[in-house]
Amino acid sequence: MRVLGIESSCDETAASVVERDPDSGRARILSNLVASQVAIHAQYGGVVPEVASRAHIETIVPTIEAALKQAGLTFAELDGFAVTHGPGLVGALLVGVETARALAYATGKPLQGVNHLAGHLAAVHLYDDTMPLPAVPPWPHLALLVSGGHTALFRVQGHGDLIALGSTRDDAAGEAYDKVGKLLGMGYPAGAKIDALAARGDPLAHAFPRALPGREDLEFSFSGLKTAVATRVEKAPPQNEQELADLCASFQAAVVDVLVRKTRKALQQQGLRHLVVAGGVAANQGLRKALAAASEADGFTLYIPRVAYCTDNAAMIAAEGAALLQKSTPSRAELLALTVDPGLPIARART
């Protein structure tokens, strides 16, 4: 099944065509285009919703056209469309959804709405012609979703069938990275910069707190850590590159320790031996190394997308959309009824 995916939930306008094998679940990327807005929002220190929406309007049609051209396909050769319809910024989502609805209506092809977070989890099924075939996690498995807007653990029963196990009570991990980066004058986004500096620093230089220690639940919290870093910087700002690296390393160690500890606990509680890690923070090298070490120590299998597919992209949306379309095709009425939902839940509550 060849599906064109559209992603516009925040500050990236993306379009991609993937070809999904229903037997293996792998999704081969035929094209993957992203029109980034990072330079636009960097001057504000974060994403401005209205500015993001206007930029999506300007770039979405050229991005879709380029994705089709790169894939060497026409609309007639597609089997369907997939689009992010939540969660995300309302105005940004509207641009993608209305464009996808218009394309589906005009071509008579089916359209599948995709939860942005489920798309991130589907990124482990992606591959292109430059990489070997990825291993496919069996059902059920545990998923750690860690990004700028979300940090959560799920038991994944199948496509579209997730059980929420725990999530952040305040800041997401990626949000904490961006806020600490802004505090340190690194601009937006700051995650990759902190990760690079942390690799050269001493993680024991500062004793930053680990939130919710010794608890059996699977909840996260990062606002206290952010405050602790702010207090440290206010009292004794880093005076040179090494002190900055030590501060970043200590901050990152606190984030990674909590993420890994809670994830190992969830695997044990659920009796699962397979872990999928997804979202923008899954690109973090410190986290990847710590999870690889935990995988070797505990004997679970780790699945992480290629770094390029951890951040927002349309290939992951197309992959999840293709999987859902292969389960059942939405009716014409469902196509026309598709709307945005900025708070779209991804999972059912734990019972």
Read off the pTM: 0.92
For 340, counting Cβ atoms within 10 Å of its Cβ (0-12 exposed, 13-18 middle, 19+ buried), the class is buried
Mean pLDDT of 261-268: 97
Does residue 294 have a pLDDT over 90? yes
* 3-state DSSP assignment of residue 99: helix
Average pLDDT, the chain: 92
Query: Token digits for 326?
Result: 């292969």
Predicted confidence band at 232 (pLDDT cuts at 50, 70, 90)? Answer: very high
**All domains in the chain, ordered by first residue:** 2-131+309-337 (3.30.420.40), 141-305 (3.30.420.40)
Q: Which two tokens stand for residue 68?
A: 């089709």
| pLDDT computed for residue 345 by the predictor | 82
pLDDT of residue 334: 81
Mean pLDDT on 290-311: 97
Cα–Cα distance measured from residue 84 to residue 127, given in angstroms and rounded to the nearest whole number: 20
What H or E segment, with its residue span, contains residue 34?
strand 27-36
pLDDT in tens, 138-161: 999 999 999 988 899 999 998 888
- Mean pLDDT to the nearest integer, 27-44: 82
Query: What pLDDT is attached to residue 159?
Result: 84
Percent of the chain at pLDDT above 90?
79
Whether 321 has a pLDDT exceeding 80, the answer reads yes
Q: Which helix (H) or strand (E) holds 191?
A: helix 191-198
Smallest CA-to-CA distance from 139 within 276, 326, 334, 337 is with: 276
Q: Over 90: is that where the pLDDT of 105 sits?
A: yes
On the question of pLDDT at 41 being above 70, the answer is: no
Give the pLDDT confidence score for residue 160 in this predicted structure.
Answer: 80
DSSP 213: T
Contact 243, 270 (CB under 8 A): no
| Residue percentage of the chain with pLDDT more than 70 | 97
- How many whole angstroms from its chain centre is CA 307? 11
166 and 217 Cβ atoms separated by less than 8 Å: yes
Answer for the pair 147, 136: CB distance below 8 angstroms, yes or no: no
Q: Over 90: is that where the pLDDT of 121 sits?
A: yes
- pLDDT of 40 higher than 80: no
Q: What is the rounded average pLDDT of the residues 214-218?
A: 83
As a whole number, mean pLDDT of residues 124-151 equals 94
Omega before residue 87 within 30° of 0, cis = yes
Amino acid residing at 240: N
Cis omega (within 30 of 0) for bond into 110: no
Count Cβ neighbours within 10 Å for each residue of 15-46 and write b for 16 or more, e otherwise.
Answer: bbbbbbeeeebbbbbbbbbbbebeeebeeeee
What is the pLDDT confidence band of residue 47, given thresholds at 50, 70 and 90?
A: confident
Mean pLDDT of 219-240: 94
Name which residue leads in pLDDT, 160 or 29.
29
pLDDT exceeds 70 at position 231: yes
Q: Is the pLDDT of residue 69 over 90?
A: yes
CA-to-CA distance for 322 and 178, rounded, in angstroms?
33
Classify strands 2-7 and 80-86 as parallel, antiparallel or unpaired: parallel
